[in-house]
A = this chain, B = another copy of it.
Amino acid sequence: MILDLAGIFVFAISGGLVAVRKGLDVFGVLVLAGTTGLGGGFLRDVLIDATPPAALADWRYLVVPVVAGLITFAYPSALGRQERRVAVFDAFGLALFCVAGSLKAAEYGLGPVPAALMGMVTGIGGGMVRDLLAGRVPVVFRGELYAIPALAGAAVAVAGERTDVPIAVVATAGALTCLVWRLLALWRGWQAPLPASATPSV
């Protein structure tokens, strides 16, 4: 639970930073912080029909992104300088969300492949909604290795959940898969492959 809120906090900070860079007002900062922190879980809950989403049923889930948004609004330049550190925390959030999301989807009766996909959506959905609202193509499509580690971690969790291994071990293995891969990608600058005819037109 505390881990969950910490993940939402870190995601919300990244949403708030995008809003500040785009010159949005205080309300835009709060909304982008909120959708980035909670959007992945919302998307998952609507798709697997676990409505109303958990975030609407417990006020603590709403307070955390608001606080994160206000902090970002007040100290944007200080946080902007820490962006590399934010990216590291963000990798922890991603690892947590992809595992929690896939296990929740499996619990709601989805098969293993869709459950792993839902885990990935939980991890990356908030950032995608953030980028749509901020009027830019989701960064997750733009070469950085972000979604694949989330999918891998979710797949490990879903696969393990069908065995006799205790759920805590399975969840840790899934989260570590995602976390290590993502941190390596950040550190080494790994990129996802681009199409052969690399003549992008905007």
> Could you list which residues of chain A lie within 8 angstroms of chain B, going by C-beta atoms?
19-29, 31-32, 42, 46-49, 51-53, 56-57, 59, 62, 73-74, 76-77, 108-111, 113-114, 117-118, 128, 132-138, 140-143, 147-148, 191-202
Residues of B within 8 A of A73 (CB): 195
Q: Is the CB of A47 within 8 A of B57?
A: no
A94 to chain B, nearest CB (A): 14
Give bound CA distance, A118 to B57, whole Å: 12
Measured CA separation A75–B143 after assembly (Å): 19
Residues of chain B lying within 8 A (CB to CB) of residue A31: 141, 147
Q: Are B196 and A28 in contact (CB under 8 A)?
A: no
Nearest chain-B residue to A134 (Cβ)? B137
Q: How far is the CB of A77 from chain B (nearest CB, A)?
A: 5
Evaluate contact between B52 and A48: CB separation under 8 angstroms.
yes
Number of copies: 3
Asked if A53 contacts B62 (CB within 8 A), the reply is: no
For A25, give its contact among B22, B113, B142 (CB under 8 Å): B142
CB within 8 Å for A53 and B57 given contacts A76-B195, A141-B31: no
Give Cα A20–Cα B141 distance, bound, in whole angstroms: 11
In the assembled complex, how far is the CB of residue A202 from the closest CB belonging to chain B, in whole angstroms?
A: 7
B-side contacts of A32, CB under 8 Å: 141
Pick from B29, B132, B140, B147: contact of A195, CB under 8 Å: B29
* Beta-carbon contact of B76 and A196 below 8 Å: yes
User: Which listed residue (B24, B118, B200) contacts A23, Cβ 8 A?
Assistant: B200
Q: Is B25 a contact partner of A141 (Cβ separation < 8 A)?
A: yes
Q: A20 with B197: in contact, given A25-B143, A27-B148, A142-B28 (CB under 8 Å)? A: yes
CA of A37 to CA of B77, assembled, Å: 39
A56 touches B25 (CB 8 A): no
Task: Determine if B74 and A196 form an interchain contact, defined as CB atoms under 8 angstroms apart.
Answer: yes
User: A194, B23: Cβ atoms under 8 Å?
Assistant: yes
**Additional pairs, 19, CB under 8 Å, beyond known A31-B147, A76-B195:** A19-B141, A21-B201, A23-B194, A23-B202, A24-B142, A27-B147, A28-B138, A29-B195, A32-B141, A46-B51, A47-B52, A47-B53, A47-B56, A49-B49, A56-B114, A57-B114, A59-B111, A62-B117, A74-B196
